[in-house]
Amino acid sequence: MNRGAAVDRSVERVHQGARRKVLLTWPQEIDARLDLLVRAATEAGERTNRSELLAALIASTKTTPKKLADTLRAYRRLDPETFTAAHDRPDLPTVRRTGPKTASGDTTAPTP
């Protein structure tokens, strides 16, 4: 069952497909983790951004209902201090965010 938009057969890869803007709200700790993941991918030699990395994570997630439910339950139990302790990674490069500047005028991904 295909509930999405029609597939553009001229596109060779999913990452090249038509774009759709989404508005997400989530805890600041999750936002900091996404920045950390972009920095880690950059350290591995990948040229990426938050949007592409988030899309890759969604694309690679299995759609097994039980696994998704387990993932949600584990997320809901995360302790903020334990979770953010892993964000202190001075060994990873600083990357510049694309898109609009923040209220402070900075586009550099913060180093938690």
Q: Where are the domains of the chain?
A: 25-85
Answer whether 0.85 is exceeded by the pTM.
Answer: no
CB of 38 closer than 8 Å to CB of 50:
yes
Give how far Cα 16 sits from Cα of 8, 24, 108, Å.
Answer: 10, 22, 26
> What pLDDT does residue 90 have?
87
Kindly give, in sequence order, each residue whose CB lies less than 8 Å from that of residue 62, ignoring residues fewer than 6 positions away: 68
Per-residue confidence in pLDDT tens, the chain, 112 aa = 455 666 666 778 988 889 999 999 999 999 999 999 999 999 999 999 999 999 999 999 999 999 999 999 999 999 999 999 988 898 999 987 766 666 655 555 544 4
In sequence order, the β-bridge partners of residue 112 are: none
Contact present, 41 and 55 (Cβ < 8 Å): no
Residues 6+ apart with CB under 8 A from 101: 107
